[in-house]
Amino acid sequence: MKKVSLWILAFLLTISAAVYQRMTGPTYPMRGKSIVGSADISYKLPRNHEIGPNCEISIKVPDKDIEGYLLYKRYPTDDDWEKIPMSRQEDLLSANLPQQPSSGKLAYRVYLSRQNEEISLTGDESVIIRFKDYVPRIILFPHIIVMFLAMFFSTRAGLEALDKNGNPRKLVIWTTGLLFVGGMILGPLVQKYAFGALWTGFPFGFDLTDNKTLIAMLGWIAALIAGRKGKPARVWVLGASVLLLIVYLIPHSLLGSQLDYSKLNPPTQ
């Protein structure tokens, strides 16, 4: 019964960490509410877009007297802001942002107006949206599942290491293997499809996702070596488990791939 409880606890901790990482990441949609006239406007503004379909920005605005437009520019650049009027279709105001190359970003703001009143939904803050190429689901979904399982087994190994009578050796082997497959094989393949590069972390770059995966991998390799010949190596295992948890809590895609627009021509319309 105790073992079952530890597996359940590990699962709940993993789910909580995954939700936190997802909701705090720079690609998670920006949500909020604003007031235009007497209307409460809820919005969900995308910060991540897969190249192909139109990058539509839409806001539900039932009040037909409210109009809107977008301002956007390439990010980070000194480009002038471009304006796109929003069109109405029943209760929706919408406009399409121009497609950008893979890893290109746009800064944009949504403005709504009614009579003499005009507001930016996000105030002086711009929404930053990043564009990426299509990633085959046969690679993307296994990557997500395997990385989740790696975190799950890592957490369970850490809990096992806290038990002075426990031996987390098998869990260490599973965690190390899953992390290697999910983070060092499938992860680079996902990045190759999405942004055109297999690895942009150390020693080739400063991509935080790659670097934190590398650090976590080294931590679990150390725990694996420390537990050779069947040793429990509880301190090493607990340290590697905590390290992966810390790494997992860092928002996904923070300081990720970013196109250098200075090497390109003027804005893509």
The residues with which 97 forms a beta bridge, in sequence order, are 55
pLDDT in tens, 58-106: 999 999 999 999 999 999 999 999 999 999 999 999 999 999 999 899 9
Q: What pLDDT shows up at residue 202?
A: 83
Q: What pLDDT shows up at residue 1?
A: 60
Provide the whole-model pTM.
0.86
Per the structure block, which two tokens stand in for 55? Answer: 């990058």
User: How many helices and strands in the chain, by DSSP H and E?
Assistant: 6, 11
Lowest mean pLDDT among 15-24, 48-57, 59-68: 15-24
Strands 48-50 and 127-132: parallel
Q: What pLDDT shows up at residue 250?
A: 80
pLDDT in tens, 187-215: 999 999 998 888 888 888 777 888 899 99
The residues with which 193 forms a beta bridge, in sequence order, are none
**Structural domains of the chain, with CATH:** 2-25+135-249 (no CATH), 30-132 (2.60.40.10)
| DSSP letter, residue 263 | G
Q: What pLDDT shows up at residue 38?
A: 78
Burial per residue of 161-174, b for 16 or more beta-carbon CB atoms within 10 angstroms, e otherwise? beeeebbbbebbeb
Helix (H, G, I), strand (E, B) or coil at 257: coil
pLDDT over 70 at 43, yes or no: yes
Q: How far is 51 from 263, CA to CA, in rounded Å?
A: 20
pLDDT in tens, 27-38: 889 999 998 877
pLDDT band at 267 (very low <50, low <70, confident <90, very high): low
pLDDT band at 47 (very low <50, low <70, confident <90, very high): very high
> Between the CA of residue 127 and those of 47, 80, 110, 202, what are the distances in Å?
7, 16, 9, 29
